[in-house]
C-alpha cells in the first residue's frame, strides 16, 4: 500500500511550480487530489491529465484562495468529487520583492491577501471536514528565517504563516489535526523564473549558502510534503520544517 492510499488532498496553487509537484507526488502515493488554480486552467488541466494517465485520480478546480466564496468552493469540490478531505496543502502564494521605498498598499495587499488571508480562508473551510488524523501543510519560506533585504512584505507574509502554523497546531491538535509548515529555500519554478530570480546574483548567493550545493527543485519539496501528509509523520505537529538543503 502506498503512503497516501485512500486519502483525499487539496493542493492550492497546483497549476505549476511546487504545488504541481506536490499534487503529482500525492497522486503517485495513492491520494485523490484537488488541483486548484487561480488563472492557469491549462496548467491545472495538464497536471490532472498527467495524474490520470499514470492511473491516479485528480480534478482541476478554479478559484482564488483570497475570495471567501471561492476558497469555500475549492473545499466543496473535494467533498463533491471524492466524498471527504484528509489533507490540505496551503501552497498558493505570490512573491514580489522590492526595497522599503517601493512598498505600496497594493504591493502589501496583493501578497497578504493570497499568502495569509487566502491560507486562513481555505483552512477555515477545510477544518469543517478534516478528521482526526488530518494534516494541514502550510508552504512557508526560509525567508522568514533569513530575512533577505528588499523583501519586507513577502517575508512578513511568511512570518505570519509560521505564526499561524503554531497557533493552529495548538488550536486543532485536540481534534487530532496536525498543522506543520514546510519552508523551502529558493526553488526553481515558473514563478521564480518569471520573477527573474533564476540565474540572478540572489540565485548564485543562495546556492553558495546551501551546504548541499544547489538550489531546490519542486520535487525536493514534494517529497517532504508526502511525508507530512502521511501517517508516517503522525507525531510531528506544529513544526516549521526548512526544506532548503541545509541553508539557514
Ligand atoms: N519557488 C521558491 O523559491 C519558493 C521558496 C519558498 C517558498 N515558496 C512558496 O511556495 C509556494 C509556491 O511557489 P512557486 O514558486 O511554486 O510559485 P509559482 O510557480 O508562481 O506558482 C504559484 C501558484 O500559486 C497559484 N496562485 C496564485 N495566486 C492564487 C490565488 N489567489 N488563488 C489560488 N492560487 C493562486 C498560482 O495559480 P495560477 O497560476 O493558476 O494563477 C500557481 O499555481 C508559494 O507559497 C511560495 O511563496 C516558493
- pTM, rounded to two decimals: 0.99
pLDDT at 202 over 90: no
CA of residue 183 to ligand 1 center, whole Å: 13
> What letter would DSSP give residue 229?
H
CA distance 189 to 17: 5
Is the CB of 60 within 6 Å of ligand 1? Answer: no
The verdict on the CB of residue 34 being under 6 Å from ligand 1 is no
140 CA from centroid of ligand 1 (Å): 11
Structural fold of domain 8-190+218-242: Rossmann fold (3.40.50)
**248: pLDDT confidence band, cut at 50, 70 and 90?**
confident
Query: Grid coordinates in use for 5?
Result: 492510499
End-to-end, the C-alpha distance of the chain in Å comes to 36
The ranges assigned to domains in the chain are: 8-190+218-242
The tens digit of pLDDT for each residue in 26-80 reads 999 999 999 999 999 999 999 999 999 999 999 999 999 999 999 999 999 999 9
Q: Are 23 and 51 in contact (CB under 8 A)?
A: yes
- For the segment 134-139, the average pLDDT, to the nearest whole number, is 99
pLDDT in tens, 77-118: 999 999 999 999 999 999 999 999 999 999 999 999 999 999
- The finding on whether 64 has its CB within 6 A of some atom of ligand 1 is yes
pLDDT value of position 130: 98
Q: How far is CA 51 from CA 60, 143, 158, in A?
A: 11, 31, 30
Q: What is the mean pLDDT of the chain?
A: 98
Residues pairing with 242 in the sheet: 183
Q: What DSSP string describes 74-123?
A: HHHHHHHHHS---EEEE---------GGG--HHHHHHHHIIIIIIHHHHH
**Could you tell me if 242 and 248 are in contact, meaning their C-beta atoms sit under 8 angstroms apart?**
yes
> At residue 180, does pLDDT exceed 80?
yes
Q: Is the pLDDT of residue 214 over 80?
A: yes
Between vectors from CA 130 to CA 126 and to CA 135, what angle results, nearest 5°?
95
Rounded percentage of the chain residues whose pLDDT exceeds 90: 98
Work out the pLDDT band at 187, boundaries 50, 70, 90.
Answer: very high
Amino acid at each position: 500500500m502506498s503512503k497516501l492510499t485512500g486519502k483525499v488532498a487539496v493542493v492550492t496553487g497546483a497549476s505549476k511550480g511546487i504545488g504541481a509537484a506536490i499534487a503529482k507526488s500525492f497522486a503517485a502515493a495513492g491520494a485523490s487530489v484537488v488541483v486548484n488554480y487561480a488563472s492557469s486552467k491549462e496548467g491545472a488541466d495538464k497536471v490532472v491529465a498527467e495524474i490520470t494517465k499514470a492511473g491516479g485520480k485528480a480534478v482541476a478546480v478554479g478559484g482564488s484562495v483570497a475570495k471567501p466564496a471561492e476558497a469555500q468552493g475549492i473545499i466543496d469540490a473535494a467533498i463533491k468529487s471524492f466524498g471527504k478531505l484528509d489533507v490540505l496543502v496551503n501552497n498558493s502564494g505570490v512573491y514580489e520583492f522590492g526595497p522599503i521605498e517601493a512598498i505600496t498598499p497594493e504591493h502589501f495587499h496583493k501578497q497578504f491577501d493570497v499568502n495569509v488571508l487566502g491560507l486562513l480562508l481555505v483552512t477555515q473551510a477545510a477544518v469543517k471536514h478534516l478528521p482526526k488524523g488530518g494534516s494541514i501543510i502550510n508552504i512557508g519560506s526560509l525567508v522568514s528565517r533569513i530575512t533577505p533585504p528588499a523583501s519586507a512584505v513577502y517575508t512578513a507574509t511568511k512570518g505570519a504563516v509560521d505564526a499561524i502554523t503554531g497557533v493552529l497546531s495548538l488550536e486543532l491538535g485536540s481534534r487530532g489535526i496536525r498543522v506543520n509548515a514546510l519552508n523551502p529555500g529558493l526553488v526553481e519554478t515558473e514563478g521564480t523564473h518569471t520573477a527573474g530570480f533564476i540565474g540572478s546574483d540572489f540565485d548564485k548567493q543562495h546556492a553558495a549558502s546551501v551546504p548541499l550545493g544547489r538550489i531546490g527543485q519542486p520535487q525536493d519539496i514534494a517529497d517532504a510534503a508526502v511525508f507530512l501528509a502521511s501517517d508516517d509523520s503522525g507525531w510531528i505537529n506544529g513544526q516549521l520544517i526548512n526544506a532548503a538543503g541545509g541553508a539557514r
